[in-house]
Structure 1
Amino acid sequence: MLNRLKSWAIAWALVLSTAQFCSAAGFAIYEWGARDMALGGATVGRADDPGALASNPAGITQLDGIQVMAGIMGIHPVLDVEANGKTETSDEDALYLPPHFYATWKVNDRYSLGLATFSRFGLGTVFDDDWEGRYNSYEATMQSVSVNPNVAVAVTDKLSAAFGVEAMYLNFNQKKKLDLSRAQIQAYDGDADLEADGMGYGFNMALHYKPCQYAKVGLAYRSPITMKVTGDADFSIPSIVGPMPGTLFNDTSASGVVTLPDSFSFGVAVYPLEKLSVEFGAVYTLWSKYDELKINFGDPVLPSATPDESTSPKNWNDVWRFNVGVEYAALDWLDLRLGYVYDNTPVPDETIDYLLPDSDRQIFSTGLGFHKDNWAVDVNYSYLLFADRDIDGRAADFVYDGEVNDADCHIAGVSFTYKF
């Protein structure tokens, strides 16, 4: 059964590739649906469509019958990174297409079931392989997919609670150049390609409360997930350099353990008019659990005191994400939406690198909702703007004095919902 689940998750992960530069700070992801994006993710209090399975599963007790939502997001990121006095632009042709799928079933007046398939973590940074920061990283991708069944219970007419379990598949790949002159071999570049994957498991809990007909309150928690990944480290050395010493740069197995953070989400939705709703929300992510990235090699690969291990300190900070979303029912079949997000980066100055040259960001969103009979179609457009950020060099990590600037991202998506 576990092998079947992993095979299914791997197949989904091939299409759930997501760019870090169009998601939340760090490498969290919030592209969970077109309506959710149009409202800036301010749906924890509303929680009134199948996409609530990602933001606040307790809200699915509001949904009648069987409802299904499926869709896709189109993501196009671009950024400039200055390193060692030279500016490099990321892949300008990058386009990521992560899908999402949710299904809910109201079993009876008290119990509801839901199943979600979506992505919570991912990154994508791609530069030319001869750029100044190539010894730190020139290509990095993280892909993940979560399968998340939930049970929601209407405790009272006003209060609902939910509990779910999560199985997450994660694939990580990083490519960087080897400075052979630094290893006192020759003044040429080698190549290192690390790829590993694995499964991790966690849980989530949520509450949804309707104190009156004019307001809804939501609170959701997702647990940390410890990912144990295994894979291979492949090394390429130019033929002009000749054979390496027997203990250096041999292809070998690789493994590592990383803890993905837990988070709390909170939202208050108010309905000042019959056709108007406004929600204010916040997410607190405990990124401090991501304290290091350690890779263990099956065989020694580097001329160092601990040649079978590579450790990169991270020491990230716990951070807040704030959002607001406004929805107006302009017509019986048309909803208008606006959203705004301010997101703090968890990456400190002391450990920022080219694997994740992150900064604070803002997201401005808009969207439309079309609905008739049992069908609903939601579309969104979001513009993500990154704050410029200086980078202080760290020679030991091949990180040079520079700056992240002119970074932005365009996100457009569509979701289809059908009520049986």
Structure 2
Amino acid sequence: MEKIMKKSRILSVAVGAAVALGFSAGALATDGYQLIGIGQYAVGMAGAVVAAPDDPLSAAMSNPAGLALLTPQAAFSAEIFNPVRKTNLGNGEVGSHSNVYGIPAIGWVAPAFAKNWVFGGGVYGTSGLGVNYLQNLPSNPQMPYGGYAQAYSSITFMQMAPSVAWKVNDRLAVGASLNIAAEQGSFQQTLSEYAPVIVGSGPNGPVTQVAPVTGGLNLSTPSWAYGVGATLGVLYKVNDMVTLGATYKSPVMFTPMTWQGGAQSLGQNGPFGAAGQYSGHLNYPQQVALGLAIRPIPQWLISVEGQWINWRATMNSFTIYGPWSTGSYVQLPMHWSNQWVANIGTQYDVNSWLQVRGGYTYGSNPISNANTGNNLLFPAVVQNAITVGATQKLGMGWKLTEAYMHEFANTITGPVGTAPFGPQAPSATLSENSFGLQVGYDF
């Protein structure tokens, strides 16, 4: 078993599963592990809403300045999400379990303490990649009885964003959100080898039984951490045809997650950890978004947006503090790059009660092929998505919004010899689908 573990490259900690209002998700429509849009209007526009927010969710979550342009209203969104994840841990491709999730979100806006000021916000889930792999390993000279590998990750991420916005004049609006977040994480990468184990003694000597002997990294007891950050947004109406939008989201800085764990092993020649308390920080990155919304005619909207997400600052490595044999901490490499995202969405008002929309988004892959083996627990590799959606105004202040999203499958493959469990090249594949329904009410 030690010879097998010597070849192991401990996978990066998986950061992802989203949650809102107590419902967790294992993978979401993502740029890295960030949602492309919050609420079904934003999803239908492929996330291109920084310059064109249109409901409390798209405003509070993407550009709080947009709240200043909305009438008092509330919205509830519910989404069914289907990610398909596959990996090769070194001995053939396997799929992840639990591929259907629910994603709810709530947003609102109402008058505040002075003229042209409003208060709003939302409670929602972001992020999205948790996996659950089990791979049987064949017998070999180093492992005569065979064995199995387990790779598991889960992060629950909850965020609420109380927001204020001010309509400065007919052209300019500004807004700010306080991002209050909580996350719960657990992860595991272990190898279990079937081996003879002495279970007693008999007249002819020791009595043995073939049983699994497990080693690796196992921090699978969930732990909560809490963080805070802020979003600043601005909207400027150049004229009746053109609107500009911009936002800056600060990092969300979290308290450490802590785990009570047993003995840990990072390979034969790597550090070993005694049973005890382990901890680590998983912060959320800063980002900037710029948008342009154009109405060639009053009933037709075209919105484009560019984003920069500073993944390198938070996902270059994950430091685990604990009673390690080599010191007080070890670092697990992930080596994410910063990400550039381009979104385009369009909406057309068919008549007084029906709007239709669609969009496309592209995000550069923050994980390189060379780092596939470091990120098999976290395959945040999708790049291209298309979306469609519609809104029906039902009367009496009610409206219904639907959206469908498809992220095309993408695969990354690492060099031979870098897989954690076996001789084959490591790989990670991810594709995603979602369908959501949102109910809104204008007060």
The TM-score, its normalising length taken from structure 2, stands at 0.80
Q: Report the Cα offset of residue 180 of structure 1.
A: 7.2
- Structure exhibiting the larger radius of gyration computed from Cα positions: 2
Matched, 1:225 2:249: no
Q: Give percent identity, aligned residues only.
A: 20
Separation in 2 of the partners of 1:136 and 1:216? 53
* Native 8 Å contact 1:208 1:216 kept in 2: yes
Give the counterpart of 1:101 among 95, 103, 106.
Answer: 106
Structure 2 vs 1, CA of residues 396 and 43 (structure 1 numbering), >3 Å: closer, same or farther? closer
1:325-355 deviation per Cα after TM superposition (whole angstroms, max 9, x unaligned): 1111112111111111111121233433211
Give the counterpart of 1:174 among 174, 187, 204.
Answer: 187
Question: What is the aligned partner in structure 1 of residue 162 from structure 2?
Answer: 149
Separation in 2 of the partners of 1:85 and 1:394? 12
* Aligned partner letter, 2:169: T
Question: What is the aligned partner in structure 1 of residue 326 from structure 2?
Answer: 305
Question: What is the aligned partner in structure 2 of residue 403 from structure 1?
Answer: 427
Question: What is the aligned partner in structure 1 of residue 353 from structure 2?
Answer: 333
* Native 8 Å contact 2:89 2:421 kept in 1: no
Q: Report the Cα offset of residue 318 of structure 1.
A: 1.1
Structure 2 vs 1, CA of residues 154 and 128 (structure 1 numbering), >3 Å: closer, same or farther? same
Structure 2 vs 1, CA of residues 216 and 89 (structure 1 numbering), >3 Å: closer, same or farther? same
Q: How many residue pairs get matched?
A: 386
* Native 8 Å contact 2:400 2:438 kept in 1: yes
Q: Secondary structure at the match of 1:213?
A: coil
* Native 8 Å contact 1:73 1:412 kept in 2: yes
Give the counterpart of 2:227 among 188, 193, 200.
Answer: 200
Q: Which residues of 2 match residues 20-419 of structure 1 at below 5 A?
A: 20=27, 22-51=28-57, 52-64=59-71, 66-91=72-97, 93-107=98-112, 109-128=115-134, 130=136, 138-178=151-191, 188-190=213-215, 192-194=218-220, 195-235=222-262, 251-290=275-314, 291-297=316-322, 299-300=323-324, 304-306=325-327, 309-352=329-372, 353-373=375-395, 374-393=397-416, 395=418, 401-405=425-429, 407-419=430-442
Structure 2 vs 1, CA of residues 102 and 131 (structure 1 numbering), >3 Å: closer, same or farther? farther
Structure 2 vs 1, CA of residues 53 and 229 (structure 1 numbering), >3 Å: closer, same or farther? same
Q: Report the Cα offset of residue 176 of structure 1.
A: 2.1
Separation in 2 of the partners of 1:141 and 1:112? 37
Q: Secondary structure at the match of 1:46?
A: coil
* Aligned partner letter, 1:334: L
* Native 8 Å contact 2:30 2:382 kept in 1: no
Q: Report the Cα offset of residue 236 of structure 1.
A: 8.6
Q: Report the Cα offset of residue 383 of structure 1.
A: 0.9
* Native 8 Å contact 1:320 1:344 kept in 2: yes
Q: Report the Cα offset of residue 135 of structure 1.
A: 8.8
Separation in 2 of the partners of 1:117 and 1:265? 21
State which drifts further: 152-161 or 137-146.
Answer: 137-146
Separation in 2 of the partners of 1:316 and 1:16? 28
Separation in 2 of the partners of 1:98 and 1:261? 22
Structure 2 vs 1, CA of residues 135 and 324 (structure 1 numbering), >3 Å: closer, same or farther? farther
Q: Secondary structure at the match of 1:260?
A: coil
Separation in 2 of the partners of 1:214 and 1:276? 10
The TM-score, its normalising length taken from structure 1, stands at 0.84
Structure 2 residue ranges without an equivalent (≥5): 1-18, 139-146, 195-210, 265-270
* Native 8 Å contact 1:190 1:235 kept in 2: no
Q: Report the Cα offset of residue 136 of structure 1.
A: 8.2
Q: Report the Cα offset of residue 286 of structure 1.
A: 0.8
* Native 8 Å contact 1:30 1:120 kept in 2: no
Q: Report the Cα offset of residue 368 of structure 1.
A: 1.4
Separation in 1 of the partners of 2:135 and 2:426? 18
Q: Report the Cα offset of residue 190 of structure 1.
A: 4.0
Q: Secondary structure at the match of 1:203?
A: strand
Separation in 2 of the partners of 1:249 and 1:312? 14
Q: Report the Cα offset of residue 197 of structure 1.
A: 1.9
1:17-58 deviation per Cα after TM superposition (whole angstroms, max 9, x unaligned): 2333x3323222234111111110111111121121111110
Q: Report the Cα offset of residue 395 of structure 1.
A: 4.6
Separation in 1 of the partners of 2:332 and 2:421? 12
Separation in 1 of the partners of 2:67 and 2:137? 49
The two structures, once aligned, show a CA RMSD in angstroms of: 2.8
Separation in 2 of the partners of 1:131 and 1:386? 27
Structure 2 vs 1, CA of residues 99 and 137 (structure 1 numbering), >3 Å: closer, same or farther? same
* Native 8 Å contact 1:137 1:174 kept in 2: no
* Native 8 Å contact 1:16 1:145 kept in 2: no
Structure 2 vs 1, CA of residues 122 and 137 (structure 1 numbering), >3 Å: closer, same or farther? farther
Question: What is the aligned partner in structure 2 of residue 17 from structure 1?
Answer: 24
* Aligned partner letter, 1:18: A
